[in-house]
């Protein structure tokens, strides 16, 4: 099953989140069933990223959004674990600083977009400026409502430089969120992740849902599509996100750059000289017959 087709928000369409099955797990029956595919996918992802890094003609921007405990951190960890850290960056967007608030909402985002050859993951993003900002009236509706178009233009500009943009909305049910909060309370290794604000935000579930549905409807574009990822099962979430990234990279037809030197000549002359005389540190080719 091509999960891209199944999970993409078709540009111009509107998703009603209550119609989405957050526990969907495709043709797999369990995480054990998906394990081999997940591992093979991670290997392919790593080698595709290596080509992207070497070729330096494309960049990939992965945007993660979702309610508290939807799995943004876990997805980031899973995807990045498959890649060479040298070609990746992760940026988490928190509450804006005083200085950031003195600028337009994209000012703090732009410097973190990936250059050619790089993969960047945004854990939250400029979409917070039409989500939390809207839900909590942090700016007037007249301001946030104009941001969808500004975001689409901004993303279009990035794609014109060669940045491919994949946006994943991790969708869990309120029941699953509460269960994850409970696990965080119980597990000393995860207690640091929970706070009062998680419970307070939960009270705004319906307002967030409306804001998410608008974001998906207005900002899923042919150049930067949104995917709704059923995320109640962490293993399926990881599988879906990494499959979509892998297929997208695969279609770029990435090519490692051709060597800029004559490999046959280096092998025949320079390498052979050092093999013949290990002391020949300068590998003087004049001592060989060329």
Interface ranges with ligand AMP (CB under 6 A): 93-96, 124, 128-129, 132-133, 138
Q: Beta strands 59-66 and 119-123: pairing type?
A: parallel
Cα–Cα distances (Å) from 231 to 43, 104, 115, 160, 260, in that order, read 22, 32, 29, 31, 45
Q: Which is nearer to ligand AMP, 128 or 176 (CB)?
A: 128
Tell me the residue nearest to Mg ion as measured from the CB: 68
Binding residues (CB under 5 A) for Mg ion: these are 68
Token pair in block for residue 185 = 């309370």
289, interface contact from ligand AMP, Mg ion, none, CB < 5-8 Å by kind? none
User: Which string of DSSP letters, residue by residue, matches 107-151?
Assistant: TTTGGGSPPTT-EEEEES-GGGGGTHHHHTTSS-HHHHTTHHHHH
Nearest-approach distance from CB 209 to ligand AMP, in angstroms: 15
112, interface contact from Mg ion, ligand AMP, none, CB < 5-8 Å by kind? none
Burial class, 59, CB count within 10 angstroms (exposed 0-12 / middle 13-18 / buried 19+) = buried
Q: Which is nearer to ligand AMP, 91 or 247 (CB)?
A: 91
Tell me the residue nearest to ligand AMP as measured from the CB: 128
246, interface contact from ligand AMP, Mg ion, none, CB < 5-8 Å by kind? none
Q: Which is nearer to ligand AMP, 198 or 213 (CB)?
A: 198
Q: Which is nearer to ligand AMP, 146 or 161 (CB)?
A: 146
Nearest-approach distance from CB 233 to ligand AMP, in angstroms: 21
Partners of 165 in the β-ladder: 61
- 142 near 222, Cβ under 8 Å? no
Q: Which is nearer to ligand AMP, 41 or 75 (CB)?
A: 75
Neighbours of 239 (CB within 10 A): 23
């Amino acid at each position: 099953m091509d999960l891209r087709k199944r999970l993409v928000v078709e540009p111009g369409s509107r998703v009603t989140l209550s119609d989405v099955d957050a526990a969907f797990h495709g043709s797999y029956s369990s995480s054990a069933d998906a394990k081999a595919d997940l591992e093979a996918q991670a290997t392919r992802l790593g080698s595709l990223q290596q080509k992207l890094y070497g070729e330096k003609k494309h960049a990939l921007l992965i945007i993660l959004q979702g309610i508290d405990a939807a799995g943004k951190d876990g997805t980031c960890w899973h995807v990045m674990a498959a890649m060479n850290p040298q070609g990746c960056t992760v940026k988490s967007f928190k509450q804006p600083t005083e200085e950031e608030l003195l600028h337009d909402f994209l000012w703090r985002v732009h410097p973190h977009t990936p250059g050619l050859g790089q993969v960047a993951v945004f854990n939250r993003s400029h979409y917070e400026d039409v989500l939390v900002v809207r839900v909590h009236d942090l700016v007037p509706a007249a301001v946030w409502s104009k941001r969808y178009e500004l975001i689409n233009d901004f993303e279009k500009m990035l794609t014109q430089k060669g940045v491919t943009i994949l946006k994943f909305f991790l969708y869990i049910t309120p029941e699953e969120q509460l269960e994850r909060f409970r696990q965080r309370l119980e597990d000393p290794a995860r207690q640091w992740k929970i706070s009062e604000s998680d419970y307070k935000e939960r009270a705004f579930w319906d307002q967030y849902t409306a804001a998410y549905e608008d974001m998906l409807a207005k900002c899923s574009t042919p150049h930067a599509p949104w995917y709704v990822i059923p995320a109640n099962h962490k293993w399926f979430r990881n599988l879906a996100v990494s499959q979509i990234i892998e297929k997208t990279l695969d279609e770029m037809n990435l090519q490692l750059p051709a060597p800029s030197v004559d490999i046959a000549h280096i092998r025949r002359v320079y390498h052979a000289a050092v093999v013949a005389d290990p002391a020949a540190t300068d590998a003087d080719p004049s001592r060989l017959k060329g």
